[in-house]
Amino acid sequence: MLLKELEKFPQEIKSFMRIASTIAGKLGVRIYLVGGIVRDLIIKRKSFDYDIVVEGDGIEFTQLIADFLRVNFIKHQTFGTATVYYKNYKIDVATCRKEYYSCWGALPKVTPSSLRDDLYRRDFTINAMAIGLNKDDYGELLDFYNGYNDLKNGLIRVLHDRSFLDDPTRIFRAIRFEKRFGFRIEGRTLKLIKQALEEEAIKFVDEQRIRDEIVLILKEDYPPKYIRRIDELIGFSFIDKDLKLDKQDYMLFRRIHRAIKFFYQRFLKYHKLQEWLIYLLGITIKLSKEKVERFCSNFDFRRGEKKILTEIFIEKRTIHSLKRKVKIRKIISVLKPMSFEAIVFFYAYFNNKRLNKNILYFLNNLEKIKINVRGSDLEAINLKPAKIYGKILEELVYVKLEKNLLTKEEELEEAKKIFKRLIRAHSN
C-alpha cells in the first residue's frame, strides 16, 4: 500500500527524505521510516519524532547525510544510533537491530539485523510498521505484523507472548496508548499483562525506566484516566507496598486538572509548570516524607523534582496559616519560597476558600512582587554593610505592595528608608 499521507510532511522533511533516499541508494543500504511516526501518519495525528532505521551501517549513513547537508549530528556509538538536526527538526537514525534478553527486564543485547527483525522487537503491532524510503518502495507501507488493521480496529496487541516478560515497562506503554487513542488492549495481550504481573515482572525492571514511563503518562492530556487504569491493572505498590488510591484521590486528580487549566488561563501564561509533578504529588502526598525520599532516590528523580516532591511535607504545615485572613506580608512570606507546582497543588489539595483567596492574591500580584532594585543598586549609593542587602530587598517586596510603588526610583527611596530603620533597630 502506498501512503499518500507522506506528502503531508513538512517540506523540509520531505526534501530530507528524498536526499536520504538517494544517499542510501548510493551507499547500497536500505532505509525506512518506523515506529510512532508511521502510526501517527496513518491516523493523521501530528507527530514530531522522525525515526529512520537503516539496513546496514546507520552511523556511516548519517555521517554522509550530515556531510552532504552540512548539519550537525550526534553519534550514540553503543546503540549504533545517531541524531541529525536539520532545520528545527530532529531525526533519529538507527541501525536495524535484533534484540535478545539475557534476563527479565534487563536492557536487551543488540545485534545488527533486517527490518523485519527490527520491527519484531517493538512493543505493539501499531508501533511496528514501516514506510519504505528506497527508490523501489518509496512511500510503501510495510506491515509484517498486521499493525494497520489493529490501528483501524483500535487494538493494542503485542507481537509475541514473551513481550511483557522481556520488557515489563511495556505494560505502562500499553496503558498509555490505550488511553491516549481511546483504544482497547486486545484480549490475549491483556492476559499476558496479568500473567507478567502475577510473576512480579515489574520488580525486575530498573526503577528509572519505570519512572520514565510514569512521567510520560503524567504528561498526557488528561492523566486521571491513566492513573485509574494503572490502579486497575497494576496498582501502585511499585511506588510503595502500602500505597492505595481511593475515591478522594480521584477527586483530587480532577481538581488538580481543573486548577492547572485555571492557572494557565489566569496567571501563568508565561510560566511553564511541570504539570506531571503536580499529579505525582497527588499520589505521593499519601506517603510519609521518608518514603517519598526513598522513592525519589530509588527512581532517581532529578534534584529539583526531588525537592518539590519532598519539601511539600514541610510546606503543607506552613501553608495552613493561610487558611485565615492574614496580612499581605504573611501571604508573601509563605508562598514566595514555594514552587508554582506546590502552590497549584495546594490550591487543589486543600480546596479551602480562604487559602485559595490568598493564593489568588499572591498570583495576581506576582508582577508587583518582582522588585527592580538589585544589590548592585544599593552598592552604587554606598549603603553599608552589604550583608544586610538581602534583608533590605526582602522588606522592599512587602513595602512595594503595601505602598503600591511603581518606579525603580520609588523603590530605591524606600530601600534607603528600610536601610535606616534596620540600622536604627540594630543599634538600639
Pull the grid cell for residue 393: 530587598
Cα–Cα dist 54/92, whole Å = 11
Measured from the CB atom, the residue of 35 and 58 that comes closer to ligand ATP is 35
- Interface with ligand ATP (CB under 6 A), residue total 12
Closest CB to ligand ATP among 49 and 413? 49
* 3-state SS string for 9-69: CCHHHHHHHHHHHHHHHHHCCEEEEECHHHHHHHCCCCCCCEEEEEECCHHHHHHHHHHHH
**What is the nearest approach in angstroms of ligand ATP to the Cβ of residue 55?**
16
Q: Choose the binding region for ligand ATP from 71-79, 166-174, 355-363, 403-411 (rule: CB under 6 A).
A: 166-174
CB atoms within 10 A of CB 390: 10
Please identify which residue in the block is written with the cell numbers 516524607: 289
Query: How far apart are CB 12 and ligand ATP at their closest, in Å?
Result: 20
Per-residue mark of binding to ligand ATP, 276-295 (x: CB under 6 A): --------------------
Of 36 and 112, which CB lies nearer to ligand ATP in the complex structure? Answer: 36
Please state, in angstroms and rounded to a whole number, the distance separating the CA atoms of residues 150 and 39.
Answer: 11
- Nearest distance from C-beta of residue 88 to ligand ATP, angstroms: 18
Residue type, 203: K
Closest residue by Cα to residue 308 from 259, 341, 272: 341
Q: How far is the C-alpha of 52 from the C-alpha of 66, rounded, in Å?
A: 14
Closest residue to ligand ATP using C-beta atoms: 36
Give the residue carrying C-alpha cell 503491532. Answer: 125
Pick one of 150, 167, 305, 395: the residue that binds ligand ATP (CB under 6 A).
167
Between 127 and 284, whose beta carbon lies closer to ligand ATP?
127
Q: Which is nearer to ligand ATP, 123 or 305 (CB)?
A: 123
* Distance (Å) of CA 36 to CA 44, 147, 222, 362: 12, 12, 20, 42
Of 36 and 56, CB closest to ligand ATP: 36
Q: Pick from 81, 95, 125, 169 the residue near ligand ATP by CB under 6 A.
A: 169
The smaller minimum CB distance to ligand ATP, of residues 122 and 179, is found at: 122
Residues 85 and 73: beta-carbon distance below 8 Å: yes
Given the complex with ligand ATP, which of 147 and 340 has the nearer CB atom? 147
- Longest distance between any two alpha carbons in the chain, whole Å: 90
Spatial separation of the C-alpha atoms in residues 134 and 113, rounded to whole Å: 18
Asked if 122 interacts with ligand ATP (CB under 6 A), we say: yes
Among 122-130, 196-204, 253-261, 387-395, which window interacts with ligand ATP (CB under 6 A)?
122-130
* Residue closer to ligand ATP, measured from CB, 24 or 38: 38
Q: Under the criterion CB under 6 A, does residue 49 sit at the interface with ligand ATP?
A: yes
**Among the listed residues 36, 139, 154, 235, the single contact to ligand ATP using CB under 6 A:** 36
* Inter-residue contact 308 to 342 (CB < 8 Å): yes
* Planar angle of CA 229, 310, 238, nearest 5 degrees: 35
Round to whole Å and give the CA distance between 405 and 96.
Answer: 64
Q: Does residue 170 belong to the site contacting ligand ATP (CB under 6 A)?
A: yes
**Minimum distance of ligand ATP from residue 173's CB (angstroms):** 6
Give whichever of 122 and 286 is closer to ligand ATP, judged by the CB atom.
122
From the list 81, 127, 189, 339, which residue makes contact with ligand ATP (rule: CB under 6 A)?
Answer: 127
By CB under 6 A, residue 249 contacts ligand ATP:
no
Residues paired with residue 95 on neighbouring β-strands, in sequence order = 54
Q: How far is the CB of 78 from ligand ATP (least distance, A)?
A: 17
Task: Tell me whether residue 85 is exposed, middle or buried, using C-beta atoms within 10 angstroms of its C-beta: 0 to 12, 13 to 18, 19 or more.
Answer: middle
- Residues near ligand ATP, by CB under 6 A: 35-36, 49, 51, 122-123, 127-128, 167, 169-170, 173
